[in-house]
């Protein structure tokens, strides 16, 4: 009987929320991911496969994880990544335009931040229910199918361990698919996934099983108490 593999799903590090270009890791985001790489190295985890989305924050997060691994495990600690568009995040601005007419204030204050995510919740709920068609975005069914295809690939192609670097939406969708939760639960999980957080699946050729969700073992240190972020 084949042993179970482990799929490590990682949300990207802190990006540039509120800036003109969100799709760029902040200095803290880089540190978060480098610390995660060091955590993997400290546990002697050798990855058989790597998948990531096509977004710049995915690529930069993976590079920082690799740098953290290399610091302890030596260079070339990761195999070449398989770039998987189905692991890309939805477009929050396109979603919000479905429920909010006119320009939205830049989320540079607590009030604007809360307003942004309140509208995003509404828009996600409508999109997932088939009540909104954001410009330039796939349907919810197509988005979910892209995530499912990545999980299927891992089951077929690997024995584990496998590293997957993506965003909150695809990771929440993957957990929803594995647990069979109502679709509405995706929104709540998505909003709570922290930057560089780790979610773990055990997998066999037939299925994935949830082991852990949204934890930050690499930040569990007195010097990193201020490193926990959500956007």
Tell me the helices (H) and strands (E) count for the chain, helix number first. 7, 6
Handedness of CA 204, 209, 211, 216 (dihedral sign): positive
pLDDT at 5 over 80: yes
Mean pLDDT score of the chain: 92
pLDDT at 170 over 60: yes
pLDDT of residue 145: 98
pLDDT at 42 over 70: yes
pLDDT of residue 2: 61
- In this structure, of 48-52, 92-96, 101-105, 113-117, the range with the lowest mean pLDDT score is 101-105
The residue extents of the domains of the chain are 5-89+138-227, 91-136
Q: Most confidently modeled of 42-46, 84-88, 157-161, 180-184?
A: 84-88
- In this structure, of 56-60, 106-110, 189-193, the range with the lowest mean pLDDT score is 106-110
Rg (CA), the chain: 17
pLDDT of residue 109: 76
pLDDT of residue 188: 95
> What distance in Å separates the CA atoms of residue 197 and residue 36, rounded to the nearest whole number?
9
How confident is the model over 107-130, as a mean pLDDT? 89
Tokens of 80: 């070449």
Collapsing DSSP to helix, strand or coil, 68 comes out as: helix
> What distance in Å separates the CA atoms of residue 144 and residue 174, rounded to the nearest whole number?
8
How confident is the model over 8-23, as a mean pLDDT? 86
pLDDT of residue 103: 73
5-89+138-227: what fold?
Rossmann fold (3.40.50)
How confident is the model over 171-193, as a mean pLDDT? 96
Q: Which of 71, 59, 130 is nearest to 98 (CA)?
A: 130
How confident is the model over 31-40, as a mean pLDDT? 96
> What distance in Å separates the CA atoms of residue 191 and residue 17, rounded to the nearest whole number?
14
pLDDT of residue 162: 98
pLDDT of residue 16: 83
């Amino acid at each position: 009987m084949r042993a179970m593999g482990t799929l490590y799903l990682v949300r990207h590090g802190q990006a540039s929320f509120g800036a003109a270009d969100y799709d760029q890791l902040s200095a803290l985001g880089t540190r978060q991911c480098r610390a995660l790489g060091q955590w993997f190295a400290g546990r002697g985890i050798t990855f058989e496969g790597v998948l990531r989305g096509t977004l710049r924050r995915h690529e930069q997060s993976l590079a920082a994880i690799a740098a953290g691994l290399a610091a302890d495990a030596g260079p070339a600690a990761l195999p070449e990544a398989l770039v998987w568009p189905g692991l890309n995040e939805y477009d929050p601005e396109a979603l919000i335009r479905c429920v909010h007419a006119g320009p939205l204030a830049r989320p540079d204050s607590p009030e604007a931040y809360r307003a942004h995510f309140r509208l995003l919740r509404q828009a996600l709920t409508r999109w997932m229910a088939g009540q909104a068609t954001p410009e330039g975005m796939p349907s919810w069914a197509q988005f979910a199918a892209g995530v499912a295809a990545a999980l299927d690939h891992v089951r077929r192609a690997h024995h584990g361990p496998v590293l997957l670097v993506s965003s909150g939406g695809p990771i929440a969708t993957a957990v929803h698919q594995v647990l069979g939760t109502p679709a509405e639960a995706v929104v709540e999980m998505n909003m709570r996934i922290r930057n560089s957080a780790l979610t773990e699946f055990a997998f066999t050729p037939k299925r994935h099983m949830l082991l852990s969700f949204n934890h930050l073992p690499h930040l569990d240190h007195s010097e990193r108490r201020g490193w926990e972020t959500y956007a």
